[in-house]
């Protein structure tokens, strides 16, 4: 037996898989930025884990992955067992391995992050699942006993897919409805391919269908099928419709041609990259009908410092923009997005202007956007959320020239009329109210309707939507067991 090198974390530096060369990233290359570990590299990186006994990485992870345990399995070359263990806590581990801001979650909590370089948890997670799938591994449902119960899942994003996975593992049939033509929600259409290759989502669909999940795509609830019909056909309904209403900031001039909300820009561009659409076609379904301009040779400015803003600036680079600028009202330390994504954007030539708050959008002689007026800010006392307020500095106004302006201030859910008509209520800003006295977690005011993900908590991370879909499925299964037990008691009494 080979003796383990207990100082591996010192002798083996933290390394990420190789990256696409910079020259290719600015020339229309939409391939995933990071490659994949080879077996040896994955084992060496996993072996850096200290197995510190109090796994802060696991505690910080929203789904509480058994991270040290599957890192050890990788060290030992037991990848299929590692894949099974990954799926015990996370129905979509290959997605989270790619798009989670690990620097703010598991890796940020790693004991080695203080000077030694955190274990590359996300890259190893990606390696585990990709390798296992390539070797033909699939979830083992051989011991699952069908209950005969059926649940409708509305929304094929991370919350809905996670819920469907857990339902079928509990023997409950899941039928997933989505208005889009592909599964994945914003993982498919909003997150660019250089972060999440769409073949990864196609593989997950194959896996889920192999588990028994049925997808009814291009079907919009409230238009093509009524909620009442679903409530009559199914034993329960889960709502994971996401958050699609963008926050515009109320800036004067935001309706000018050349001003774009971030989400329609990303969704439309995602369809173009995958061959599902073309430039210049108006897109409806948002607050207004938009025609997205080509960015080649244009000066592009993105307002907002979250992960969506980083997706926009890095997409603009690949679309041939002459210059790309990100303006954010706080400093870099207070940016809500992943520090790794900011670093990648800066590496690709994006200019960052921190402590700049937009005031108004200016028009040029042609009536289209010509720039955005901003004021410099300084950080003041904390706001209601505990973050320092951005306070304007008198006399510091300036203008950033722009041919295209993309607004990435965030998104919020909207309570659909078809839910409100069945007494489902929102808790403010369109978020569905769940839980409370005499209700199960994620259960709405309608006893057969459950909800989770961005539709409940507002725009958040993929991994938090995964966690809520997973846990909502547990509540649905609990309700259905209770219903079965009640029916059994009634029959016995009769």
Pairing of strands 351-353, 323-327: parallel
| Interval 186-227: pLDDT, tens | 999 889 999 999 999 999 999 999 999 999 999 999 999 999
Q: Which of 183, 89, 192, 94 is nearest to 137 (CA)?
A: 94
Where in the chain do CATH 1.10.1060.10 domains reside? 8-134
- pLDDT the model gives residue 277: 65
In this structure, whether the domain defined by 8-134 belongs to CATH 3.30.70.330 is answered with no
Q: Exposed, middle or buried, 401 (CB in 10 Å: 0-12/13-18/19+)?
A: middle
- pLDDT the model gives residue 285: 47
In this structure, whether the domain defined by 150-244+413-493 belongs to CATH 3.40.50.2300 is answered with no
- pLDDT the model gives residue 1: 45
Where in the chain do CATH 3.50.50.60 domains reside? 150-244+413-493, 245-411
| Interval 303-356: pLDDT, tens | 999 999 999 999 999 999 999 999 999 999 999 888 999 999 999 999 999 999
Paired with 363 in beta bridges are 369
Q: Strands, E, within 156-244: which ranges?
A: 173-178, 214-217, 236-239
Q: Are 416 and 437 in contact (CB under 8 A)?
A: no
**Mean per-residue pLDDT, 225-244:** 97
Task: With a cut of 80, say whether residue 5 has pLDDT above it.
Answer: no
Q: Exposed, middle or buried, 331 (CB in 10 Å: 0-12/13-18/19+)?
A: middle
Task: With a cut of 90, say whether residue 486 has pLDDT above it.
Answer: no
Residues 466, 403: Cα–Cα separation, whole Å? 38
Which CATH number, 3.20.20.70, 3.50.50.60, 3.40.50.150, 3.40.50.300, labels domain 245-411? Answer: 3.50.50.60
The residue among 271 and 480 whose pLDDT is bigger is 480
Low-confidence winner among 108-122, 215-229, 242-256, 298-312 (lowest mean pLDDT): 242-256
Residues 100, 461: Cα–Cα separation, whole Å? 7
Predicted confidence band of residue 284 (pLDDT cuts 50, 70, 90): very low
Averaged pLDDT of the chain = 92
User: Tokens standing for 34?
Assistant: 């990071």
Task: With a cut of 80, say whether residue 2 has pLDDT above it.
Answer: no
- C-alpha dist (Å) from residue 330 to 101, 312, 379: 19, 19, 7
107 Cβ contact partners less than 8 Å away, ≥ 6 residues apart: 57, 113, 118, 119, 120, 121, 122
How many of the other CB atoms lie within 10 Å of CB of 285?
10
């Amino acid at each position: 037996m080979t003796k383990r090198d207990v100082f591996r974390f010192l002798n083996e530096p933290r390394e990420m898989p190789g990256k696409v060369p910079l020259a290719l990233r600015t020339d229309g290359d939409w391939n995933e930025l990071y490659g994949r570990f080879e077996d040896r590299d994955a084992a060496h990186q996993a072996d850096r884990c200290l197995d510190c006994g109090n796994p802060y990485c696991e505690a910080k992870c929203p789904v509480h992955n058994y991270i040290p345990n599957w890192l050890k399995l990788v060290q030992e070359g037991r990848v299929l067992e590692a894949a099974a263990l990954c799926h015990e806590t996370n129905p979509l581990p290959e997605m989270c391995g790619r798009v989670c801001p690990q620097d703010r979650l598991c890796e940020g909590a790693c004991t080695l992050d203080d000077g030694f370089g955190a274990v590359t948890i996300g890259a190893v997670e990606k390696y585990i699942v990709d390798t296992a799938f390539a070797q033909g591994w699939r979830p083992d449902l051989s011991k699952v006993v069908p209950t005969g119960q059926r649940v409708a899942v509305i929304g094929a994003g991370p919350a809905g897919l996670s819920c469907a996975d857990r339902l079928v593992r509990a023997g409950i049939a899941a039928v997933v409805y989505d208005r889009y033509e592909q599964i994945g929600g914003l993982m498919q259409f909003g997150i660019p391919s250089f972060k999440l290759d769409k073949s990864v989502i196609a593989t997950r669909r194959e896996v889920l269908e192999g588990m028994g999940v049925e997808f009814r795509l291009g079907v919009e609830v409230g238009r093509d099928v009524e909620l009442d019909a679903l409530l009559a056909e199914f034993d329960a309904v889960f709502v994971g419709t996401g958050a699609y209403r963008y926050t515009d900031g109320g800036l004067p001039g935001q309706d000018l041609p050349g001003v774009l909300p971030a989400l329609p820009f990303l969704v439309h561009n995602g369809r173009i990259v995958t061959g599902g659409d073309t430039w210049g076609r108006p897109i409806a379904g948002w607050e207004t009908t938009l025609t997205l301009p080509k960015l080649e040779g244009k000066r592009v400015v993105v307002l907002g410092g979250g992960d969506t803003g980083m997706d926009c600036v890095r997409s603009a680079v690949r679309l041939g923009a002459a210059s790309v600028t990100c303006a954010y009202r706080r400093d870099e330390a207070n940016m809500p997005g992943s520090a790794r994504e900011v670093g990648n954007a800066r590496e690709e030539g994006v200019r960052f202007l921190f402590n700049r708050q937009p005031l108004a959008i200016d028009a040029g002689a042609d009536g289209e956007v010509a720039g955005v007026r901003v004021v410099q800010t300084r950080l003041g006392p904390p706001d209601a959320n505990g973050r320092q307020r951005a306070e304007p500095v008198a006399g510091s106004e300036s203008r950033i020239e722009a041919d295209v302006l993309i607004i990435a201030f965030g998104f919020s859910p909207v309570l659909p009329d078809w839910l409100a008509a069945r007494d489902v209520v929102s808790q403010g800003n369109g978020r569905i109210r769940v839980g409370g006295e005499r209700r199960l977690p994620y259960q709405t005011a309608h006893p057969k309707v459950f909800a989770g993900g961005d539709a409940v908590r507002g725009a958040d991370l993929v991994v938090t939507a995964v966690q809520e879909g997973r846990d909502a499925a547990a509540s649905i299964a609990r309700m259905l067991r209770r219903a079965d037990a009640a029916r059994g008691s009634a029959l016995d009494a009769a």
